[in-house]
């Protein structure tokens, strides 16, 4: 089960990845493992994965794809959060440029 942030959820008790049921209530999702019955709350409030601070700023990261030949085009954008403490330079550059951040990897065509 994906949590919407790009990471996968796994039951801490039995390691189950598929049989997870979620029920949302505001910024909290209550997850139930249908394999072992473990229940836990998942807070959707964005936070920095490095320092844990919830003082983060929203930013957009481009999702690129080849539109014609080798030309790359922005197909969509993904909302991410930048930490002013852990990523000050990246946040500053994003705020100054007002353009989406580049993806971590560029799309490539597999060779036939």
Provide the residue ranges of all domains of the chain, joining segments of one domain with +. Answer: 1-45, 46-105
Give residues with Cβ within 8 angstroms of 13, minimum separation 6.
33, 36, 38
> Is the pTM here over 0.85, yes or no?
no
- pLDDT of res. 6: 38
**Residue 9 banded pLDDT, cuts 50, 70, 90:** confident
Mean pLDDT of 65-74: 79
Main-chain dihedrals φ then ψ at residue 33, nearest 5 degrees: -85, 115
Question: What's the mean per-residue pLDDT of the chain?
Answer: 85
Parallel, antiparallel or unpaired: strands 71-82 and 20-25: unpaired
Top-confidence residue, 88 or 75: 88
Asked if the model's pLDDT at residue 109 lies above 80, the reply is: no
Dihedral (Cα; 41, 42, 45, 51), 10-degree rounding: 110
Interatomic CA distance for residues 58 and 97, integer angstroms: 14
Neighbours of 93 (CB within 10 A): 13
The SS3 call for residue 43 is strand
């Amino acid at each position: 089960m994906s949590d919407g942030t790009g990471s996968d959820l796994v039951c801490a008790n039995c390691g189950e990845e598929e049989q997870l049921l979620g029920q949302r209530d505001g910024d909290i999702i209550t997850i139930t493992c249908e394999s072992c019955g473990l229940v836990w709350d998942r807070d959707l409030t964005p936070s920095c994965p490095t320092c844990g601070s919830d003082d983060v700023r929203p930013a957009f990261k481009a999702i690129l794809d080849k539109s014609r030949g080798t030309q790359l085009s922005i197909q969509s954008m993904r909302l991410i959060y930048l930490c002013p403490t852990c990523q000050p330079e990246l946040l500053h550059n994003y705020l100054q440029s007002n353009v989406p951040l580049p993806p971590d990897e560029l799309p490539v065509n597999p060779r036939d």
